[in-house]
Chains A and B, each alone.
Chain A
């Protein structure tokens, strides 16, 4: 059994009880506990079921590497699956549920898989569910989906807030253990800006639980000393609960801060994603203990030796009353001594090495029995450990003794956390003596200057022993100071360390060495994804020799823990099976983030109303308060129609069109791009930019223009007004304003920089309002102040003045085919003008109209819309607009492109109008024209025209301009609709209405 010790636990506050629930039952812990330590204190060691075989699983670790204790955490909008109990700080009201079992943790139907384990080897899915083919979709996949997976998917929207933070620093240190703190102090004393991130709530790491003495201080005292010294340095920032999660190009690093996970009722954001730029990054990320590969090493009660020590020392919790320690190295002896000192039984230390080191003497002196050259043959017990069978390490697992125990503390040595070093390309070396990969500091990741920018320190460098660890940390701090261009404040003297010397470890990849199949097939490598020793051996036999292939075939290292415990063991087993050296087999790629980062943190503040900026015009508020329904156009929202209460959208559109065609309509055109182009060479420049001639435009006049890209394809259109000899105002489409301005600047800067031309995007300076319809002029006249008579303001002209007291420019241009004025005023006056026009037009029956009415009216007139009739593969010629492509100009953007043979052929898709044979059924959007079984074109715009009383459409049809009068078939969701090719100008072909 596991239980709370009567005293001890440097992180907990026994005066502050904290209540939480686990699987619906009330449990109590203390402030400072993790969920894992509190569960263990309450003797709840079995905390989940395994992924594939549904075996009972218990807490194995005390930190981020925990593979088993994953929880469904919280409820409703705060529910989150796969949360590690070992890194979850306890708080009042915490709700946790174990995962991957049904109906309950104690009784789980899925555990049948365990009995069938021999039929579920690596690659089981690939081998088994091949035939019959239909069965995968209808039988196998639904069953597997129901039984597989760990946590549940949240069903409610996340109620928390998240954010980013951009931080620049000279030196970033990942890890707040002793190495990180030593480096921070050494570097900070120089005045360099230092940011240190520690993933847990406390600093000090292993120094809190290892018995060392530094400069006469014990471990925790030395940490306190370092923190006190660092606090005096103004340029050093320490952040706890913040993990250095990833290292990227050019000194970019991600920090993942968990602000309120431990205090969910607090205000403020839950997580913050730090986006950090550092000149140098010190990775002081420590090392992770490895498991040992013996049968039953996954049973609840089998734990990492270091974790056992953590629970006793940090949380005052005994993981068991009677613990067998099994190890291939010295560190586990510290655990044995810790347990002994806490008054707990340690019946035996099983050491696979022929000889143990000095720490063993200390254990012996404490009266602990040690068996060297021995191994665990198997662990007995189902829902928790009851005993272990001891055998010779060199043998085949014949038990020489069975030792009763309720906990096994194992240590297979340590692996430096090289993740951050490796994320951006740092290379690794195989350290034979410690059987681990450590950073090859001669091949670091390099930055924009071609310099190494990551400096590993301490255990993360492979310096596992205290003296070397501290020395490397001070050295890293100093090197970073030099490399960021600061001057050192005087070096700290080497720390005086008193610690027991450690004997060499001896790698053990199979325990015992010659374990038979029956033991190997119960020996786990990857606990979270349920990969066993035999699975890797099978993969090797089946030809998966590359470590990356073997990983994917067996799924080792692919769970949410990304193989933190399993990678090296799996690699070593694979190497042995292939009879290759470990470094020759290599590691899989370490990819960021180090541990999962919440999706909320990745999204940052971009949720809800901050999801994406919506551009709004100066008149938007009026539209909204007058019932407009909106449509997105580029980043803008524009009124689509203004249905009255109880009116259908279609009826509103019809009403708006009828009002405009018969009286007068009002339209907010503020979103159209307005780019000022000025300078002595402005006309010459616009001649290059537009396909048609702009230099011949007279000041005071407007001209419709087309722009193509170098391919000769239409990219934008709009009306150009020549304000003066040197100054033009170019109107663009709504979506084109930023793009076309950028396009102009690109050509001016990169190709025609000899031209004296300046451009400015003035789109938002003006509100632009269209007054269109037979009575439009009367409305403007009612407002007064400007002469808009045909003589003063003819079609395609513009005038400037004050309209109703507002400074205005009035263009006489028409996209509806009606008598039409576009009035531009400073945006801040836009709403005023809109209201004045409504007032002045009231007696004339003025009505606002939306984008859909506009589209119907322009289609009735056969006007194209860039993006409807064009799709990036259409030339002006294809759109019957050869008249707008100058033959006189030597050059314009797109001229050469249009000359290519495939763009000059006669059978290109060409713009036509379509008149449906039916007077009621319109063609579907994008319907294909089909002839002799082939698609020969498609519908680009289709509407019901209230003006004409029948449907109209425009289409791009192969050779369409030569096929006037032909009747074509269009596919309409299985049915065929017939339409005749006609002139696309359906209404007022002579243009009499706009020219009055």
Chain B
């Protein structure tokens, strides 16, 4: 679902390629994240509740009572399906249009993100299934680094252009601190 070919914006003249995706299917689930929820999730998506601050098989841990489910199918259909399986009180909402999704590609993705995110992005501290909500400069974001030279980031759609400009600026060539050995 993160194919660059469908990107709505792409900038690749810098040290790191920055792509903004066309809307990606995303569903917010808020509930007590117990076994029953995990089982319902597994039936619908093939994956259960991920551990704290992890992203596994397209399901991201947002908070102790909140998940973000990435989906390639119709979010409404997924919501209906989950709704029918989950018996406990829960909130399900399509948030596909509420967020902008970015992919960064290149050797310096950690360097670029560390210009704005006040967290330890070294490979030892932040692995390929880690998922972190934090800030990038002045903007709230969530980010993960699924492969050594690839990072993904989501933010509110209204600041999508700002974040794209921010990332393009931060990934200009000759501007990487080369702090991470990757």
Question: Touch between A and B in complex, CB under 8 Å?
Answer: yes
A632-B82 Cα distance, complex, nearest whole Å = 40
Q: Mark A127-170, 1 if CB is under 8 A from B, else 0.
A: 00000000000000000000000000000000001011111100
Given A166-B118, A758-B91, A826-B94: A764 and B99 within 8 A (CB)? Answer: yes
**A764, B31: Cβ atoms closer than 8 Å:** no
Mark contacts of A574-611 with chain B using CB atoms, 8 A cut-off: 1 yes-contact digit, 0 otherwise: 00000000000000000000000000000011100110
| Chain A interface mostly | mixed
Interface residue tally on A, bucketed by range: 35 or more
Are A615's CB and B118's CB within 8 A?
A: no
Report whether B170 and A163 are in contact in the complex, using a CB–CB cutoff of 8 Å: yes
| Inter-chain contact A267/B137, CB cutoff 8 Å | no
Residues of A within 8 A of B119 (CB): 166, 168
Q: From residue 249 to 266 of chain A, which have CB atoms closer than 8 A to chain B?
A: 266
Q: How many residues of B contact A (CB 8 A)?
A: 47
B175 within 8 A of A: yes
Identify the closest chain A residue to B23 (Cβ). Answer: A828
Evaluate contact between A167 and B97: CB separation under 8 angstroms. Answer: no
**Chain B residues within 8 Å of A616, by CB:** 158, 161
Within 8 A of A (CB), among B31-57: 31
> Known interface pairs A758-B30, A828-B23. Does A167 touch B179 (Cβ–Cβ under 8 Å)?
yes
B4-29 near A? 1/0 per residue, CB < 8 Å: 00000000000000000001000010
B103 interfacial contact with A, CB 8 Å: no
Task: Check if B166 sits within 8 Å of A760, measured CB to CB.
Answer: no
Q: What residues of chain B lie closer than 8 Å to A676, measured between beta carbons?
A: 91, 93
Query: Which chain B residues lie closer than 8 Å to A234 at the CB level?
Result: 181
Q: Is the interface of B mostly helix, strand, loop or mixed?
A: loop
Cβ contact within 8 Å between A758 and B65: yes
A763 within 8 A of B: yes
Report B-chain residues with C-beta under 8 Å of the C-beta of A636: 158
A173 to chain B, nearest CB (A): 15
| Segment 80-129 of B: residues with Cβ below 8 Å from A | 89-91, 93-99, 111, 114-122, 125
The residue from A267, A605, A756 contacting B173, defined by CB atoms under 8 A apart: A267
A residues within 8 A CB of B158? 615-617, 636, 764
Instruction: From A268-276, A343-351, A872-880, give the one contacting chain B.
Output: A268-276
User: B174 to A267, Cβ gap below 8 A?
Assistant: yes
Residues on the B chain within 8 Å of A609, using CB: 162, 165
How many angstroms between the C-alpha atoms of A801 and B88 in the bound complex? 27
**A681 CB to nearest B CB, Å:** 9
A368 within 8 A of B: no
- Inter-chain CA distance A609–B163, complex, in Å, is 11
Which residues of the other chain, A, contact B116 by a CB distance below 8 angstroms?
164, 166, 605
Task: Judge if B157 is at the interface, Cβ distance under 8 Å.
Answer: yes
Does the CB pair A618–B175 fall under 8 Å? no
- Residues of B contacting A168 in the complex (Cβ-Cβ under 8 angstroms): 119-120, 122, 125
Contacts A756-B89, A758-B90, A762-B95 given; indicate if A266 touches B174 (C-beta within 8 A): yes
Which listed residue (B30, B90, B115, B166) contacts A166, Cβ 8 A?
Answer: B115
B156 to chain A: closest residue by CB: A764
Q: Once bound together, how far apart are the Cα atoms of A765 and B79, in whole Å?
A: 15
Which residues of the partner chain B approach A605 to less than 8 Å between Cβ atoms?
115-116, 137, 166, 169-170
Task: Give the chain B neighbours of A610 by CB distance below 8 A.
Answer: 137, 162, 165-166, 169
By a CB distance below 8 angstroms, the chain A residues around B118 are 166, 275
* A193 contact set on B, CB distance < 8 A: 122
- A826 touches which one: B28, B30, B97, B139 (CB < 8 A)? B97
Report the minimum CB–CB distance from A116 to chain B (whole Å).
52
Select one of B91, B97, B98 contacting A759, CB under 8 A: B91
Q: Which residues of chain B come closer than 8 Å to A614, judged between CB atoms?
A: 159, 162
Most buried by B among A193, A604, A759, A826: A826
Q: Which residues of B contact A756 (CB under 8 A)?
A: 89
> What are the interface flags for A15-28 relative to B under an 8 Å C-beta threshold, 1 for contact and 0 otherwise?
00000000000000
CB of B121, distance to nearest CB on chain A (Å): 8
**CB-based contact B28/A760 at 8 Å:** yes
Q: Is A615 a contact of B175 with CB atoms below 8 Å?
A: no
- Cβ of A394 within 8 Å of any chain B Cβ, yes or no, is no
User: With A275-B118, A764-B98, A827-B98 known to touch, is A613 a contact of B175 (CB < 8 Å)?
Assistant: no
B168 nearest CB neighbor, chain A only:
A610
Quick check: A165 and B114 within 8 Å, CB to CB? yes
Residues of A within 8 Å of B165, CB to CB, are: 609-610
Flag if A613 contacts B159 (CB, 8 Å): yes
Residue in chain B with minimal CB distance to A767: B97
Which 3 pairs show the lowest CB-CB distances between chains A and B?
A268-B174, A615-B158, A758-B91
Q: Chain A: residues with CB nearer than 8 A to chain B?
A: 161, 163-168, 193, 234, 237, 266-269, 272, 275, 277, 604-606, 609-610, 612-618, 636, 676, 678-680, 726, 756, 758-760, 762-766, 826-828
26 contacts between A and B (CB under 8 A): A163-B115, A165-B115, A165-B179, A166-B116, A234-B181, A237-B179, A268-B174, A269-B175, A275-B118, A605-B115, A610-B165, A614-B159, A614-B162, A615-B158, A678-B91, A680-B89, A759-B30, A759-B91, A760-B91, A763-B98, A764-B99, A766-B97, A826-B94, A826-B96, A827-B157, A828-B96
Kindly list 10 other residue pairs between chains A and B, CB separation below 8 angstroms, not including A164-B116, A268-B172, A826-B97: A163-B170, A268-B173, A272-B177, A605-B116, A616-B161, A678-B89, A758-B31, A764-B97, A764-B99, A826-B94
